[in-house]
Each structure stands twice: as C-alpha cells, then as structure tokens.
C-alpha cells in the first residue's frame, strides 16, 4: 500500500477506500472471507467544531468527523489543543485514550465528542 499519514496506521479508518480497499479485498478473497457490504452505515453526523481550535486540531477534527465509526472520541481544551482517537476497540477505550493523550500534553481537557455526537455535559 502507498504511504499514508505519519505511519500508516490510520489508513483504513481515515484514508479513502480506493487507496486501501484493493489490497484488503485481495487479502480477504485469499482467505475466502466476504468482501461485499454487510451493513450499510449512515453518513457521519455533522458535528460542529469546537472553538477555538489550532490548525493541527482543525485537521484532526475534520478527520474525526469523517471517520465512519461510532467507536471514537475527541478531547480538547479551551486553548484550542486536542486529541482525537478513532481506532480503539470500544467507546470506553476511545474516551479514556482521547482524554489521556490530551491531558498528558495539555493538562486541562474534556471530552468534546463521542461517537457521532457531542459529549454529554
């Protein structure tokens, strides 16, 4: 597969399907696993971006909204710093990891969005 992002780990949840699907489809077919759509997902929700956001966090938020998963969380602070997690296995893990990363770097953080909605509170 072609390079994607910093280390390639987010290519499936965040990269365009035309980049990663041919290799994945071929792999699944060799294993005799299904390659057709099993469940139609609704489009990602339109979540308003928090303000303020620095330039990097604006990009992370755009990618967060586009990630077609409910297992994701976005943490931020009022200075515009953030952390976005879209690759954990559970919602609780995503929330915990987003907060952990944000607090480790910026100290004061809270969850802004979880899954396809604004975080409660």
Mean pLDDT of successive 10-residue stretches along the chain, which has 121 residues: 74 79 93 86 88 97 91 97 95 98 96 96 80
pLDDT for position 86: 92
Q: Does an H or E element contain 102, and which?
A: helix 91-106
* In a shared domain, residues 114 and 74: yes
As for how many domains the chain has, the answer is 2
Is the separation of the CB atoms in 47 and 119 below 8 Å? no
Tell me the C-alpha distance between 22 and 1, whole Å: 9
Our measurement of the distance from residue 78's CA atom to the centroid of its chain's CA atoms, rounded to an integer in Å, reads 21
Q: Are residues 112 and 67 in the same domain?
A: yes
Same domain, 69 and 32: no
CA 58/CA 35 separation, integer angstroms: 34
**Closest CA relative to residue 10, chosen from 75, 59, 52:** 59
Residue 77 shares a structural domain with residue 100: yes
pLDDT score at 19: 86
Residues 34 and 63 in one domain: no
Q: Are residues 35 and 56 in the same domain?
A: no
Identify the domain containing residue 11 by its residue range. 7-40
Residue with tokens 């690759």: 87
- Confidence (pLDDT) at 40: 78
Residue 28 tokens, joined? 């699944």
Contact 88, 108 (CB under 8 A): no
């Amino acid at each position: 597969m072609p390079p994607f992002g910093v280390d390639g780990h987010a290519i499936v949840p965040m990269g365009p399907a035309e980049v990663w699907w041919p290799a994945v489809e071929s792999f699944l077919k060799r294993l005799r696993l299904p390659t057709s759509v099993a469940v139609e997902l609704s489009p990602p929700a339109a979540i308003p971006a928090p303000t303020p956001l620095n330039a990097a966090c604006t990009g992370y938020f755009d990618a967060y909204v586009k990630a077609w998963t409910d297992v994701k969380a976005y943490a931020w602070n009022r200075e515009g710093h953030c952390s976005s997690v879209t690759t954990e296995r559970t919602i609780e893990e995503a929330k915990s990891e987003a907060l952990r990363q944000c607090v480790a770097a910026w100290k004061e953080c809270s969850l802004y969005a979880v899954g396809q909605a604004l975080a409660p509170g």
